[in-house]
Amino acid sequence: MTGKKIALVTGANKGIGFETSRQLAGLGIKVFMGARDETRGAAAVEVLRAEGLDVESVLLDLTRSDQISQVRALIEKNFGRLDILVNNAGMAHPEEELFVNSTATVSRQALRQTFEVNFFGLVELTQALLPLIRKSPAGRIVNVSSMLGSLTLHSDPGAGLGDFKLLAYDASKSAVNQFTIHLAALLRNTQIKVNSAHPGWVRTDLGGKEAPMEPEEGARTSVALATLDNDGPSGGFFHLGETMPW
């Protein structure tokens, strides 16, 4: 057992998840870094341990129920609770190009594969870990979404999204936002806070080279929501402290 806060960040071996892990660990939090590739996860952990940070790699592919169960068992056995869950792992299917409206062409397979990771896996993991989060004195759940999941922005021709219409990816993030709202309602009489985060357009494998933000800045919204005070919001959608439209 430990007096430290315990966090799990999914998709943590690179990009925004890696930086989220670094920043949380820099605040004195023990961070389990979930990665679907064991070798890459271990390499990421070594980088942060060399910086003196308390991090540990866990094998976690969100499409694998057995790995979700194993992560839950590991945390339960060693700590008995989970204080922070950052659902960061996500994918955009190769069929979908960043500036092309995929609505008439995206395949059923692409839709299913995207939802399997971005929504179904996220929900299954959160449900599995919720009993441990309930044991935290101040549980925090952060669902990493995207402004591309905003129905309000997509339906506004003046919002600047133009042909950023990746149906599978965007719909999966809209579903994540709905999960945030529903879970926050379920937990409204508890100490747990649940919020969606828009990290921004970040220069990662998913965001592409054209993105204006670095992963360090992209991680800041998740870190802020993961470390909210007791009077902080729940059931909202935020980017760098600003409320995003659903």
Q: Find residue 6's DSSP bridge partners.
A: 30
Render pLDDT for 7-19 as a digit per residue (tens, 0 to 9): 999 999 999 999 9
Structure confidence at residue 215 (pLDDT)? 77
* Residue 68: other Cβ atoms inside 10 A: 21
- Amino acid (1-letter code) at residue 211: A
The reply to whether 169 belongs to the active site is yes
Q: Region 58-65: what's the mean pLDDT?
A: 98
* CA dist., res. 66 & res. 7, Å (int): 20
* CA dist., res. 167 & res. 164, Å (int): 9
Render pLDDT for 144-168 as a digit per residue (tens, 0 to 9): 999 999 999 999 999 988 888 999 9
Can you tell me whether residue 140 is helix, strand or coil? strand
* Residue 140: other Cβ atoms inside 10 A: 25
Domains and their CATH numbers in the chain: 6-243 (3.40.50.720)
Query: Considering the chain, what percentage of its residues have pLDDT values greater than 70?
Result: 94
* CA dist., res. 221 & res. 216, Å (int): 10
Q: pLDDT band for 134, please (50, 70, 90 cuts).
A: very high
Render pLDDT for 223-246 as a digit per residue (tens, 0 to 9): 999 999 999 999 999 999 999 999
The active-site residue, picked from 119, 169, 179, 237, is 169
Q: pLDDT band for 203, please (50, 70, 90 cuts).
A: low
Residue 44 pLDDT > 80: yes
* CA dist., res. 150 & res. 2, Å (int): 39
Helix or strand run (H / E) with residue 58: strand 55-59
Least confident window among 27-36, 43-52, 164-173, 194-203: 194-203
Render pLDDT for 161-189 as a digit per residue (tens, 0 to 9): 888 899 999 999 999 999 999 999 999 99
Nearest alpha-carbon partner for 131 in 203, 195, 80:
80
Global model pTM greater than 0.85: yes
Can you tell me whether residue 142 is helix, strand or coil? strand
Structure confidence at residue 205 (pLDDT)? 63
Whole-number average pLDDT of the chain: 94
Structure confidence at residue 19 (pLDDT)? 96
Residue 25 pLDDT > 90: yes
- Taking the CA of residue 169 as centre, how many other CA atoms within 13 Å lie in the half-sphere pointing to its CB? 24
